[in-house]
Copies of this chain bind each other. A is one copy, B any other.
């Protein structure tokens, strides 16, 4: 234990050379041990590992990157209007999931927020210069200029949710929105509801469109007439959920259930219903989407569709690393799960 507790001025850290000398082998052998250990004798292997432990050696990533051309880091890029995502608890789950999945590969995550035009320019420049090996993208909007530019530059890219307007050269991971919506509406039918309204997500995003499609499909299958007045659109935010509920109550007083495309909106809906004197689920059943933390914090607890955020983040990382490794971009659709609680 000659290392450590050297408070203040840091001393020069051991290099691969020091390890080689300590282990009685050459730099090349140490390097081979560090990178998988192929073509290394067991004896050398052990000697090197011992030496690494004794010296407290940690690879200098800059030197490695300089020669390999890889940075061994990836960017997490958010080009959405940030308020929307930062308000959304799912975003944090996604971000932390990706961070941890990457950490297990010893790859740091660089957070990149593209708000202003200046930031967009800077970030594009940073990424295309090769300072990260690939990018995890959160941007459901169509025609995202940053994403488009990165795609053209050939940067490995994996989006969360199916991206609009980007070609086939980007991978993506998404929950099966349509199937989730189907499950929820089937459940509402199963508990005896017939006048089922819906508050959709933004309809310029695939997620928003798919959830609406699932809703319509099941009703059609069940022979329930689709009433235009029962569908209003929102943007996933609490406020838009409240607004949607008010419109819905006005347009269709005989509503007996509502499928809300996000839990956050559902929270707004519950507030409005309570104020309007409607009991949930007795008078009106409410189904959410996401299974975000708020689902269990509201009263009654939300029946909702769980998006497998942990799996989504893991898959995003897996697909991105594969893509960095030279594989073709993959599209992954993950199953959702109906979570029945008190609201429906």
* A residues in contact (CB < 8 Å) with B: 4-10, 13, 58, 60-63, 65-66, 71, 73, 76, 82, 86-87, 89, 91-93, 95-96, 99-100, 103, 106, 108-113, 115, 119, 122-123, 125-126, 129-131, 152-154, 169, 238-239, 271, 293, 297, 299
CB neighbours of A65 from chain B (8 A): 62
Say yes or no: B89 contacts A297, CB within 8 Å.
no
CA distance A103 to B120 in the complex (A): 11
Say yes or no: A129 contacts B58, CB within 8 Å.
yes
Say yes or no: B96 contacts A122, CB within 8 Å.
no
CB neighbours of A9 from chain B (8 A): 154
Q: Nearest-CB distance from A5 to chain B (Å)?
A: 6
CB neighbours of A154 from chain B (8 A): 6-10
CA distance A103 to B78 in the complex (A): 14
Choose among A93, A113, A238 the residue with the greatest number of B CB atoms under 10 Å from its CB: A113
Q: Nearest-CB distance from A279 to chain B (Å)?
A: 14
Residue on B with the closest CB to A129? B58
Say yes or no: A100 contacts B125, CB within 8 Å.
no
Interchain residue pairs A-B with the least CB separation, the first 9: A58-B129, A86-B92, A62-B65, A62-B66, A108-B110, A62-B62, A8-B154, A99-B111, A109-B111
Say yes or no: B10 contacts A76, CB within 8 Å.
no
Say yes or no: A95 contacts B111, CB within 8 Å.
yes
Residue on B with the closest CB to A71? B62
